[in-house]
């Protein structure tokens, strides 16, 4: 059972996760930021994902678990294909955490089928099946007038846009995602 997200409430919290990695490294850094609707940062968690691997989904579930909090209302993911095709299963994250999940991307693309086949010449079938399981993205417009692309689990597109609008001050990138990206980049430089 998923928790209903009331994006209009001041105390609503999201857990936003972004990654950063350097070319030639084996792992990327995942940073998760808990942010309240009033944009107060209220917690952080870190994890890793294997470059080209299949462990990002479980790492995100573990990061959420490490918070040991029941006041987070929604998870926002900065994309579902991270760390050189380590594909996040948004439905599994939603099921295991009991929270709605919104995955955001910021550019239109024709898809990753040919890139997956190129990067995984001996085992592309499994990666492609994982990618296709994600389904199609929905193009949405935020109150800022900017467009982004979403996939969501545990809530519908209209509710997802309401959540994103509550956490986006300007442009297309929600504030918790911005902070998570900064945290991941900073942690990577340690």
Confidence at residue 111, expressed as pLDDT on a 0 to 100 scale = 87
Is residue 78 domain-resident?
yes
pLDDT for 5 beyond 80: no
Percent of the chain having pLDDT more than 70? 95
Of 2 and 68, more confident: 68
The mean pLDDT value for 18-47 works out to 95
Confidence at residue 102, expressed as pLDDT on a 0 to 100 scale = 98
Is residue 1 domain-resident?
no
Q: Picking from 6-10, 109-113, 135-139, 150-154, which range would have the lowest pLDDT averaged per residue?
A: 6-10
Q: Say how far apart CA 100 and CA 6 lie, in whole Å.
A: 12
Q: Taking the model in full, what pTM does it have?
A: 0.93
Q: Are strands 13-20 and 27-36 parallel, antiparallel or unpaired?
A: antiparallel
Is residue 6 domain-resident?
no
88-135 confidence digits (pLDDT tens): 999 999 999 999 999 999 998 888 999 999 999 888 999 999 999 999
pLDDT for 1 beyond 60: no
Report how many domains make up the chain. Answer: 1
165, 142 in Cβ contact below 8 A?
yes
Is residue 7 domain-resident?
no
Distances (CA, A) of 73 to 20, 136, 163: 25, 24, 10
CATH of residue 177: 3.30.2170.10
Q: Picking from 12-16, 92-96, 120-124, 161-165, which range would have the lowest pLDDT averaged per residue?
A: 120-124
Range of the domain at 43: 13-188
Is residue 53 domain-resident?
yes
Is residue 5 domain-resident?
no
Is residue 25 domain-resident?
yes
């Amino acid at each position: 059972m998923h928790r209903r997200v009331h994006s209009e409430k001041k105390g609503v919290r999201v857990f936003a996760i972004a990654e950063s990695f350097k070319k030639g490294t084996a792992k990327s850094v995942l940073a998760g930021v808990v942010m309240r609707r009033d944009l107060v940062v209220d917690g952080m968690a870190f994890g890793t994902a294997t470059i080209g691997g299949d462990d990002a989904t479980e790492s995100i579930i573990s990061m959420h678990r490490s918070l040991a909090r029941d006041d987070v209302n929604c998870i926002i993911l900065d994309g579902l294909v991270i760390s050189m095709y380590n594909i996040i299963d948004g439905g599994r994250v939603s099921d295991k955490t009991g929270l709605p999940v919104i995955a955001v991307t910021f550019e239109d693309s024709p898809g990753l089928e040919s890139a997956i086949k190129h990067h995984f010449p001996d085992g592309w079938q499994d990666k492609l099946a994982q990618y296709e399981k994600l389904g199609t993205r929905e193009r949405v417009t935020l109150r800022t007038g900017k467009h982004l692309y979403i996939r969501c689990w545990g809530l519908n597109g209209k509710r997802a846009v309401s959540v994103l609008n509550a956490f986006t001050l300007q442009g297309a990138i929600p504030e918790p995602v911005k902070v998570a990206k900064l945290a991941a980049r900073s942690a990577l430089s340690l």
